[in-house]
Amino acid sequence: MSTWRPFRQVDVFTTEPYRGNPVAVVHDADGLSTEQMARFANWTNLSETTFLLAPESSDADYRVRIFTPGSELPFAGHPTLGSCHAWLEAGGTPRQADVIVQECGAGLIRIRRTADGLAFAAPPLIRSGAVDEATVARVAKSLGIDRDEVQDAQWADNGPGWVAVLLADAQAVLDLRPGIADMDIGVAGPYPPGSPAAFEVRAFFPKDGATVEDPVTGSLNASLAGWLLSSGRARAPYVASQGTALGRAGRVRVSQDDDGTIWVGGGTITCVRGAVDL
């Protein structure tokens, strides 16, 4: 039996190659052990690597396992869109014409095609609500800012564990020079009305004793959207810009159905195609 499996590296939240957030996608991953998946994800050293498998649920089109270099995640946004893109490009045919259903650790995630690319339905939050003052102060210290620069903070955890922070404006977000973070921190600040993007977003998380910035983050933007829309700070549809401080040009498009479902989407493009020996 061949150990070579089809492989794609997909840039997500962009229509211009190498300007979004890449995800490594291994096809036909049934039969791989968790150890093999984890080792390969550690080797790619991307923020996430995913593995496409046959679904276990009769309602799903495919199943995906999502790994960072150090752990497995129940859900993440840009890997969801990148994996769906790869599955469709490889000839995947969804059971329903208007929606693709992904099975993952967080359950069944609906994905649909839009004029601006694929979009996933934001999953429910695992943790929400106000952040205690001690944690807000700790977050501010990690970001290298004074406590009074934090306009508001909320738990916005839909899997990765985000605490979300709102600053006065987009420039304040771009000016951040964080120190050492000990939790996953998402930061947003509004652009002036009429700007191409409504918010600038940045995402920081700890890794190996340092703070790493994620280029474009679907899970964070999904949970941020719920908070910003419900609090009246945003009105759907809107566009969030992310990755600017890293030289990227990520664009996350947020919309909301009449029933309240939030959709998070953007462009996806394959940048690497081949096979990997696992």
pLDDT at 42: 97
* Pair (117, 138) in one structural domain: no
The answer to whether 21 and 47 have CB atoms below 8 angstroms apart is yes
Backbone φ and ψ for 127, nearest 5 degrees, come out as: -145, 135
The Cα–Cα gap between 117 and 113 comes to 6
* Pair (34, 135) in one structural domain: no
* Pair (140, 175) in one structural domain: yes
pLDDT at 127: 87
Going by pLDDT thresholds of 50, 70 and 90, the confidence category of residue 16 is very high
Print the domain residue range for 234. Answer: 127-260
* Pair (254, 156) in one structural domain: yes
List, for residues 226-274, the tens digit of each pLDDT value. 999 999 999 999 999 999 999 999 999 999 999 999 999 999 999 999 9
pLDDT of 159 > 80? The answer is no
pLDDT at 69: 93
* Pair (204, 89) in one structural domain: no
Backbone φ and ψ for 246, nearest 5 degrees, come out as: -105, 5
What percentage of residues in the chain have a pLDDT greater than 70? 100
Active site residue 149: no
The answer to whether 63 and 103 have CB atoms below 8 angstroms apart is yes
* Pair (164, 271) in one structural domain: no
Question: Tell me, what amino acid is at 40?
Answer: F
List, for residues 102-157, the tens digit of each pLDDT value. 999 989 999 999 999 999 999 888 888 999 999 999 999 999 999 999 999 999 98
Helices then strands, each counted (H, E), the chain: 5, 18
pLDDT of 1 > 60? The answer is no
pLDDT of 53 > 60? The answer is yes
pLDDT at 263: 98
* Pair (112, 201) in one structural domain: no
* Pair (137, 117) in one structural domain: no
* Pair (227, 136) in one structural domain: yes
pLDDT of 52 > 70? The answer is yes
Buried b (16+ CB within 10 A) or exposed e, 124-156: ebbebeebeeeebebbbbbbebeeeebeebbbb
**CATH number of the domain where residue 64 is located:** 3.10.310.10
Q: How many domains does the chain have?
A: 2
Among 35, 48, 72, 133, which one carries the catalytic annotation? 48
Residue carrying the six token digits 């679904």: 55
List, for residues 167-186, the tens digit of each pLDDT value. 999 999 999 999 998 999 99
* Pair (223, 236) in one structural domain: yes
pLDDT at 87: 98
* Pair (254, 167) in one structural domain: yes
- Which two structure tokens, joined as six digits, stand for 62? 């495919």
The answer to whether 79 and 48 have CB atoms below 8 angstroms apart is yes
DSSP annotation of 265 reads E
* Pair (227, 131) in one structural domain: yes
Helix (H/G/I), strand (E/B), else coil: 241: strand
CB atoms within 10 A of CB 220: 32
For the chain, give the mean pLDDT. Answer: 95
pLDDT at 161: 80
